[in-house]
Amino acid sequence: MPEPITLDTRIDELYKYNIARLGETLSRKLAQALASYAGKKSAGEANVEDLLSYLPMRYEDRSNLARIRDLQEGMEASLELYAKLAGGYQVGKKRGYGQPKLFIFEVTATDKEKTGRPVVVWWFVSGAHAHDIVNYYTKRLSRGARFITFGRWEWDDRRGTYALRLNKPGDELELLPAPRQGEVETRRGGEDKNEIEENPSTDDESDDPVLAAVHAGRRVPVYRKLGTFTSKRLREIVHGVLQLISDQNIKETLPADLRQRQRLIPRSNAFRQIHFPAEDASLAQYEQARSPAHLRLIFEDFFWLALGIGLKRGQRTKEHKGAKITIDASVKESIRSLLPFKLTNAQRGVVRQIFADMTSDAPMNRLLQGDVGSGKTIVALIAMLAAMENGYQIALMAPTEILAEQHSRNIKRLLAKTPHRVELLTGSLRAAEKRRLQADLAAGNISACIGTHALVQESVSFSKLGLVVIDEQHRFGVMQRAELRARGFNPDVLVMTATPIPRSLAMTVYGDLDVSVIDEMPPGRTPVETLVFGEDQRQEVKQLIRREARAGRQVYVVYPLVEESEKTDLRDATQRFEYLRDVVFPKFTVGLVHGRMKPAEKDEVMRRFLACEVQILVSTTVIEVGVDVPNASLMIVEHAERFGLSQLHQLRGRVGRGAEKSYCVLLTSDKRTSVAAERLGIMAQTSDGFVIAEKDLELRGAGELLGTRQSGLPEFRIGNLLRDQQILEQARKEVDFYLTTRAKSVETAKMIKRVKAEARFGLAAVG
């Protein structure tokens, strides 16, 4: 007998337990799929905890299945059906040469009571193997085949009955063994010949009544397909594991008194119930992720993250920075003399907070948040000046070369009359030039070094680095600080972002940063008018462009550029540029800028655009962040539906920077699909970056919004930052309690040990 199953049992060893006919090969496949889902390095690391953390996407109540005669228009229901007739027919015969064939597969079926009209379940089959797939289903769904299917039933006039269209038949239709009277055979032999090798795109044919009982006559979880494992297979496996694992082996991780305060159920119950809700549980709660099982697991998810962040923060406030900064009357005076305009109240308040940080003993770690165009740059510049006046060097990092160049131009101009030397250091400098600058930097002959984040990655050394400013943080990682420290600096760090992060999220993601907000726009702005146009309105767009350019103002025309189709996207933008330049607007100067151009070329185009020598700038998203040309009053975004909302907001922020009324036209070919219309409609309705970010968070999740992949923010397994803000708040309060009142307790020590052991929190380096 193998060891009892625990949460640490390896998935690739599950075959030893005779679970759901899972053999050696399939155990290994499942381990691989889970490891890649859970972000683990190898299949061998996937364990039962990962499996149990793979949560159902929804639940189906199969304890009382609907009958055909209960069906109503638009009703969502599961039905247990018996196939009468199944087959595929080809549609769209006139599809172009070389186009794969398209079939409709259709099953006519009755229910057990055989009352009412047979219903139709159908779906599309396409692709290179369409023929085989159709044959496969025809065989599987032969007359009498029993299956359960779930979805939204609609009356179909042509067919004269209720019909259900499936998107993924592999997930939404489950074959059950045909009932065999009086036969209760238990077969749990795990020999390999009983193992089902699954066809990746299809379901298996289970004829094991013990397993079949898992799928019908009860509430069942429905999972997203994992690798080649269908929802049905996963259900069998999870069910089998939960039967074998004892409560003691699902170890509790939260202290009993915490659980009592927060009314959280034990971990073992949570893992069991989240997969198989009890007969009397409210499925509505489950659907909203508000069941006791969800609440427990979500809380735990946030708790460990909050604890990790709390530890990082505690660590930093104990550090001492190298730089000693004083801000006296003379420093203030030299700053004042350089300011090109009067600061807004919001800017002044933030400067005060930054000065307080800079003059304190612990290193500054501040996030400066302000909507696009709120004037963050000048605030950063003031901080930089304060550091330089104290004799320290500063580094300013921007996410793109264009932005680094723009910063460098502006700062050089502002500091022209001061002794501070400002240099631009980008990856594209010639080697000799780079070496010379690096030497000067190391010798302390350069005060301000501006560049892309290559600045940190390359072997740059400073002699007295006092302040690092990171512009447009959401394109960056939160890890830079650690990187800097690893290289022997512990400077003040100021991070700027236009991504208006909801408060709860900011506290979590940037929990070890202090947050300042600029919530006021500089005076004299007129709001940007946003228009959503379809393809048929191109003439109007041309007229708009002509009108603005004639009036001496400037225009951006932006094309999406996504990695997967980079080549064609770039070709589109380039062709469009040539067409606009040669055919449509021969009287105006049209420029082109994209990421693949040489930095010097890019810089030249941007310089000419800024100097108004170029009136119409065709570009890819390289101008998305930070670019500041106040005379630009019109932005056209092509294929607007391909952008995220926050990205559109950033883009739109390039206009409306001057006193002239500005416009942003979102051009889309699928204006008529409701999703696109709704999303783009939000842009037309509001210019509030906060509202837009919340929508974006709702539509796309936090990972997208913050660029999780780069940001080092752990993905939550269960928690959802938007939906679960309150739980997050509670988790943070508990963490505070353990890190302060109970700091010295054994419990706290145990919890800290646990959180450090979890690779996904990236805390290994925290001492």
Is the Cβ of residue 378 or residue 735 nearer to ligand ADP in the bound state?
A: 378
Q: Which two tokens stand for residue 445?
A: 């002959």
Give the integer Cα–Cα distance in Å for 350 and 343.
Answer: 10
Is the Cβ of residue 222 or residue 368 nearer to ligand ADP in the bound state?
A: 368
Q: How far is the CB of 622 from ligand ADP (least distance, A)?
A: 16
Contact of residue 375 among Mg ion, ligand ADP, none (CB under 5-8 Å per partner type)? ligand ADP
Q: How far is the CB of 411 from ligand ADP (least distance, A)?
A: 12
Is the Cβ of residue 413 or residue 538 nearer to Mg ion in the bound state?
A: 413
The secondary element (H helix, E strand) that includes residue 533 is strand 529-534
Give the integer Cα–Cα distance in Å for 429 and 411.
Answer: 19
Give the integer Cα–Cα distance in Å for 74 and 164.
Answer: 10
- Rounded to 10 degrees, the C-alpha dihedral 572/575/579/581 comes to 110
Q: How far is the CB of 373 from Mg ion (least distance, A)?
A: 8
Is the Cβ of residue 377 or residue 668 nearer to ligand ADP in the bound state?
A: 377
- Rounded to 10 degrees, the C-alpha dihedral 399/405/411/412 comes to 150
**Can you say whether the dihedral through the CA atoms of 41, 42, 47, 51 is positive or negative?**
positive
Residue 738 is given by DSSP the state H
Q: How many CB atoms lie within 10 A of CB 637?
A: 27
Give the integer Cα–Cα distance in Å for 448 and 419.
Answer: 11
Is the Cβ of residue 344 or residue 452 nearer to ligand ADP in the bound state?
A: 344
Contact of residue 622 among Mg ion, ligand ADP, none (CB under 5-8 Å per partner type)? none
**Nearest Cα to 234, choosing from 174, 314, 319, 308?**
174
Buried-state track 432-460, b at ≥16 Cβ within 10 A, e below 16: eebeebbeebeeeebbbbbbbbbbbeeeb
Is the Cβ of residue 628 or residue 729 nearer to Mg ion in the bound state?
A: 628
Contact of residue 87 among ligand ADP, Mg ion, none (CB under 5-8 Å per partner type)? none
Contact of residue 308 among ligand ADP, Mg ion, none (CB under 5-8 Å per partner type)? none
Q: How far is the CB of 606 from ligand ADP (least distance, A)?
A: 14
Is the Cβ of residue 403 or residue 429 nearer to Mg ion in the bound state?
A: 403
Is the Cβ of residue 630 or residue 681 nearer to ligand ADP in the bound state?
A: 630
Is the Cβ of residue 508 or residue 687 nearer to ligand ADP in the bound state?
A: 687
Contact of residue 484 among Mg ion, ligand ADP, none (CB under 5-8 Å per partner type)? none
Query: From its phi and psi, is residue 242 left (phi > 0), alpha (psi between -120 and 50) or beta?
Result: alpha
Q: How far is the CB of 472 from ligand ADP (least distance, A)?
A: 8
**How far, CA to CA in Å, does 161 sit from each of 73, 120, 145, 147, 520?**
10, 7, 20, 19, 59
Contact of residue 341 among ligand ADP, Mg ion, none (CB under 5-8 Å per partner type)? ligand ADP
Question: What SS3 string covers 387-416?
Answer: HHHCCCEEEEEECCHHHHHHHHHHHHHHCC
Surface-to-core class of residue 179, CB atoms within 10 Å of its CB (0-12 exposed, 13-18 middle, 19+ buried)? exposed
Contact of residue 400 among ligand ADP, Mg ion, none (CB under 5-8 Å per partner type)? none
* Binding positions for ligand ADP, rule: CB under 6 A: 341-344, 347, 370, 372-378, 498, 522, 626, 628, 630, 657
Contact of residue 599 among Mg ion, ligand ADP, none (CB under 5-8 Å per partner type)? none
HSE of 398 in the Cβ direction (CA atoms, 13 Å)? 24
Q: How far is the CB of 354 from ligand ADP (least distance, A)?
A: 15
Residue of minimal Cβ distance to Mg ion: 626
Q: How far is the CB of 483 from ligand ADP (least distance, A)?
A: 24
Q: How far is the CB of 522 from Mg ion (least distance, A)?
A: 13
Contact of residue 373 among Mg ion, ligand ADP, none (CB under 5-8 Å per partner type)? ligand ADP
Residue of minimal Cβ distance to ligand ADP: 375
Q: How far is the CB of 519 from ligand ADP (least distance, A)?
A: 12
Backbone phi, psi, residue 147, to 5°: -150, 160
* Binding positions for Mg ion, rule: CB under 5 A: 626
